[in-house]
Chain A
Amino acid sequence: MQTTELLNSYSVDPGTWDEMYSESERTGGSLSEGRTLDFVRGQYRGVVDFLQQMSIEELNKKEELAKRLFMSQGITFTVYSSGEGIEKIFPFDIIPRIITAAEWKYIEEGIRQRLKALNLFLKDVYSNQFILKDGIVPVEMVYSCPHYLREMHGFHVPHDLYVHIAGIDLIRDNDGTFYILEDNLRTPSGVSYMLENREITKRIFPDLLPGNNVRSVTEYPNILHRNLVSLSPRQTANPTVVVLTPGIYNSAYFEHTTLARLMGVELVEGRDLVIDNHRVFMKTTAGLQQVDVIYRRVDDEFLDPLVFNPDSMLGVAGIMSAYRKGNVAIVNAIGNGVADDKAIYTYVPEMIRYYLNEEPILKNVPTYQLGHADQREHVFANMQKMVIKKTNESGGYGMLMGHSASDEEISRYKMEILRDPRQYIAQPIINLSSAPCYMNGRMKPRRVDLRPYALCGPDGIQIVPGGLTRVALREGSLVVNSSQGGGSKDTWVLAG
């Protein structure tokens, strides 16, 4: 019963919502085994029982096996140093993160509602701009956003769908309330980890999944493929769908190749494509073949050197004109960045009320616009409680966590903010919820977030029951981004 010790040493940080333990004030060791288990939430009972039947040695072996599986399957990214590539794996924690059926239902409805509104916003902002004319979203907010693309104005995308794939980030506060942290509507990544993490769990914990009533995530590529096919501008039985990748040096390359493989479509790079008479073709061994739908994992600004960044080697010259002529569907639509901009984020609840006449189901984290003098003053007075973010950065770059920053850093940031306030927003630091992680033979609470993946097609919005749980592996850290030392967990959604 060594793993009981494992549980006993588990102590939740005060004032934090823990995904496994319901009693956050309790500290380790003081309770009998039976009492300890009483505090484990219902959804985690099965897993805790299972872990208790194992020794630390076995668990270490499982962890080792997981690492080896990632390595041998090439689920790695390459770090280039001193002229040679070193293969690294994204850290994976073997204990799953579990979401109950009720929680999931709530999340699902909230995301569906939000995406509906965001999609309407994109359609509106690139055509009639009612929402600007009615003063709901300030005009200057839109026009000052670098991701707002005039090239998209007045152009109708197929089925009025802008967001086909969204990865919306959720976090939980002290009392367990879910908040939307970010809307990722451009090229959200990580879905291959949702799929692969599940495969790893199947390997390292045989029989655990079927016994716990866990919903399957394997349908994701099939739904995505069906949606992509339905967007084809040509009415043919077998439209050509491709995944466009920046190439093997991209850190998400593994994901691109996984998606292409699972959908059975071609994985192309910019240099494989050519435009002729406003149509997109790929260069094959049997000559040119027309492409109908492109799921691109290349950012807007690199997509077409004739329209955007002229130095881009990753894109295809002329693709924008083929897109505007309606000869090819591009997924996600170009110009979506205006809707997931961190300053526009503040207005999403208003969008929901404006377009849908509904109250937002999922809450926004309170956000201060540093362009507003009043709000800026309030933020400057409370810097230690704030996180400052750049509006057009992602991946945890350009962030300042007020509680851990030095005075010098804070004053330097203030200067930068004053130079261009539109570039920054501030949010009170949310004390992310924690989940148990297996670390060196012990169970430790670490902070997590949740990114479910939503697929929007002509027939509606589908959210595969699961997602990516990112973990801040450093003790006390609130930053989960993989670029900042984060890891991931398999994410279970339980059936009712």
Chain B
Amino acid sequence: MLSRVADSLYWMSRYMERADGILRMLKINYASSQDDIQEFSWKPVLRIFTYLDEDGASKISHNTRAVLQYMVTDRENSNSVLNIITRARENARSVQDHITKELWQCLNEFYHTIRDEKMNRDLQKDDPVSILDVLIKQGLLYFGTMDVTMARGEGYAFINIGKFLERGVQSADILDVRFSDRHYDFSQTDITYWKYLLLSISGYELYLKTYRSGFDARNVVEQTVLNDDFPRSILYSVGRLHIYFERLKSERNQEAFRKIDFMIGRIRSKVRYSTVESIMAQGLHTYLNGIKDDLYEVGNALNQNYFAYT
């Protein structure tokens, strides 16, 4: 496979995963903003997912419509869902002969949906949940089409490598920023707060089934980092990343393969053999940052060894 093609597939996939994460998170935070006794602040969200500085974030952090507009359809915000989808589509467009026609059409329709002026108008006055649902479904259509139509070859491996690398980083980010918002105070027992954090990564129901004794910050950390059955956990993401990377093993390029395989394997072990206690002992922030840096390094190594073409 052409290096440029692998690169584009990888980024198409990372952007789609990112868009999905942002949309879900927006939907739940919107619900949370309607449920909050005190005035709800969008600051943590703006901090994870935008490049706004402190002042810029403060300006809109209490204006739900402004935040939604900024994060979904704003053309100036380079991390708006619209711009992320545009980039995913540009990548897909340059590799149309490597993804199925169905997948291309699905992404192309997503792009036309979100660029429709009506979307922007509706976001200002209609029910935001309905609009976010339309977009989330478009994304699900993409993931489903991928699963049903794409051949399980090298391209599929690069797509999944991008997807799970992005997901690992995103879960670490969400957890870190949420706790930093609470100054890493683990005695915090505000039920609503944890409920919405879990909801935003689709982990609420699993939490209820796993932990019967109510909400405890430690359990939230455990599920989000260490639960291998939870598809948004860091352990699960890194595990998948490893499985898909191993599919790239071939006679050629052995040296690069071994190097990156070692890197991912080390992260995987590091997470697997952590416990909530060991994480706390290190400090959650340090631990999560360590994981993120390791994942970024994998991204760089892929870039150097598999995607270099210019």
Contact = CB atoms under 8 A, between A and B. Distances in A.
Contacts of B137: none
Contacts of A325: none
Interface in B267-310: 306-310
Nearest to B302: A285
Sorting the interface of chain A by its residue count into under 10, 10 to 19, 20 to 34 or 35 or more gives 20 to 34
Interface in B166-215: none
B219 interface: no
A285 B105 contact: no
Given A72-B105, A272-B2, A285 B248 contact: yes
Given A271-B309, A285-B154, A73 B2 contact: no
A283 B104 contact: no
Contacts of B308: 283
B117 to A, nearest CB: 12
Given A257-B97, A260-B97, A286 B252 contact: yes
Contact of A282 (B2, B6, B101, B252): B2
Main SS class of interface, A: mixed
B306 A285 contact: yes
Contacts of B4: 269, 271-272, 283
A261 B96 contact: yes
A248 B108 contact: no
Interface centre among A71, A253, A257, by most chain B C-beta atoms within 10 angstroms, is A257
B93 interface: yes
A287 interface: yes
B236 to A, nearest CB: 26
A175 B76 CA distance: 58
A283 B112 contact: no
Interface in A266-316: 266-269, 271-272, 282-287
Contacts of A72: 105, 108-109, 112
B309 A74 contact: no
A25 B158 CA distance: 65
A73 B248 CA distance: 31
Nearest to A248: B94
Interface string A226-252: 000000000000000000000110000
A283 B309 contact: yes
Nearest to A266: B2
A317 to B, nearest CB: 14
A267 B97 contact: yes
Interface string A347-376: 000000000000000000000000000000
A272 B1 CA distance: 11
Contacts, number: 68
B34 interface: no
Interface centre among A260, A265, A267, A268 (most CB of B within 10 A): A267
Given A71-B112, A72-B105, A261-B96, A84 B75 contact: yes
Given A272-B4, A282-B2, A283-B3, A73 B108 contact: yes
A88 to B, nearest CB: 13
Given A72-B105, A72-B108, A261-B97, A284 B90 contact: no
Nearest to B8: A248
Contacts of A73: 101, 104-105, 108
Interface string B73-112: 0010000000000000010011011000100110011001
Contacts of A260: 97
Contact of B93 (A74, A272, A287): A74
Contacts of A266: 2, 5, 97
Interface string A82-98: 00100100000000000
A72 B248 CA distance: 33
Contacts of A74: 93, 96, 104-105, 108
A418 to B, nearest CB: 47
Contacts of B252: 286-287
A267 B306 CA distance: 18
B105 A284 contact: no
Kindly name the residue among A72, A253, A260 whose own CB sees the greatest number of chain B CB atoms within 10 A.
A72
A301 B207 CA distance: 64
Contacts of B90: 248
Interface string B241-252: 000000010101
Given A71-B112, A74-B105, A286 B94 contact: no
B3 A285 contact: yes
Nearest to A262: B97
B253 interface: yes
14 contacts: A71-B112, A247-B94, A261-B97, A265-B97, A266-B5, A271-B309, A272-B2, A272-B3, A283-B2, A284-B1, A285-B1, A285-B158, A286-B1, A286-B253
Given A266-B5, A272-B309, A285-B158, 12 more contacts: A71-B112, A74-B104, A74-B105, A253-B93, A257-B97, A261-B101, A268-B2, A282-B2, A283-B309, A284-B1, A284-B2, A285-B1
The 3 A-B residue pairs whose C-beta atoms are closest, nearest first, are A286-B252, A261-B97, A257-B96
